[in-house]
């Protein structure tokens, strides 16, 4: 099997506890579950509905504030932003709007009728989304095409431990809707 991201050959390993096969790219170190373990959109929604993302929660606000405190100093003062994969909540968009960054949102489960295909943005944010995507390479390309020249794509996900034995014990891949895992790229 070839890597979704860089098209190089992969090796595979099996998690003996779950019998799930994972493919590991020798080039970019991307890991993805075997296709039969990909969750349908309905199963993803059922799993997401278990999250308690209350917009009034101080800890939820603090979570997004930490993200913004990290990202915004790196990107300057964008005038427009898209929250791609926002889930039920529009909290992050509200926070950006309160900072005078004209923002909108899209989520295929909860806000599928909002459109981002005809607009361009100076900043696109996506928090804890890419580990759910069946074809993250296609989403990367689509989002990059929606960026203004010199715009920024800020993605938050957890990087996998680059060791199959440690990976098998890592909590993050145990969420059945987490199907792809990234490693810090060599730059």
Confidence of residue 112 (pLDDT cuts 50, 70, 90): confident
Distance CA 92, CA 53 (A): 11
Tell me, what's the pLDDT at 186?
65
Once rounded to an integer, what is the mean pLDDT over residues 9-27?
Answer: 95
How much is the average pLDDT of 103-116? 87
pLDDT tens column, 70-83: 999 999 999 999 99
pLDDT value of position 66: 97
How many alpha carbons lie under 13 Å from residue 85 in its C-beta half-sphere?
22
pLDDT for the residue 55: 79
Does residue 145 have a pLDDT over 90? yes
Check if the beta carbon of residue 123 is closer than 8 Å to that of residue 75. yes
Q: Quick one: pLDDT band at residue 115, thresholds 50, 70, 90?
A: confident
d(CA 98, CA 92): 10
Q: Which two tokens stand for residue 14?
A: 């099996």
pLDDT over 90 at 36, yes or no: yes
The pLDDT of residue 105 is 95
Determine how many CB atoms are found less than 10 A away from the CB of residue 96.
25
Q: What average pLDDT score do residues 120-124 get?
A: 97
Q: What is the set of domains in the chain, with CATH numbers?
A: 1-37+158-187 (no CATH), 53-156 (3.40.50.150)
DSSP 24-37: EETTT--EEE-GGG
pLDDT digits (tens, 9 = 90+) for 46-76: 888 887 777 778 989 999 999 999 999 999 9
Please tell me the total number of residues recorded for the chain in this structure.
187
**DSSP letter for each residue of 96-154:** HHHTT-EEEEEBTTTBTTS--TT--EEEEEEES-GGG-S-HHHHHHHHHHTEEEEEEEE
What is the C-alpha to C-alpha distance for residues 33 and 91, in angstroms, rounded to an integer? 31
**Mean pLDDT in residue range 8-24:** 96
Rounded CA gap, 71 and 174, in Å? 28
**Does 144 or 40 have the greater pLDDT score?**
144
């Amino acid at each position: 099997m070839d890597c979704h991201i860089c098209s190089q050959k992969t090796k595979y390993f099996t998690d003996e506890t779950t019998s799930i096969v994972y493919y590991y790219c020798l080039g970019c170190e991307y890991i993805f579950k075997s296709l039969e373990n990909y969750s349908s959109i309905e199963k993803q929604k059922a799993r997401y509905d278990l999250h308690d993302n209350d917009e009034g929660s101080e800890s939820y606000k603090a979570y997004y504030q930490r993200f913004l405190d990290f990202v915004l100093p790196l990107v300057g003062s964008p005038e427009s932003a898209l929250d791609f994969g926002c889930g039920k909540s529009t909290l992050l968009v509200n926070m950006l709007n309160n900072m005078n960054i004209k923002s909108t949102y899209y989520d295929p489960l909860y806000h599928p009728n909002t459109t981002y295909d005809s607009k361009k943005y100076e900043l696109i944010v996506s928090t804890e989304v890419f580990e759910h995507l069946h074809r993250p390479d296609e989403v990367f390309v689509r989002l990059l095409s929606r960026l203004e020249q010199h715009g920024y794509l800020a993605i938050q996900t957890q990087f996998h431990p680059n060791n199959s034995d440690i990976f098998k014990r890592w909590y993050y891949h145990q969420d059945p809707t987490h199907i792809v895992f990234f490693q810090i790229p060599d730059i």
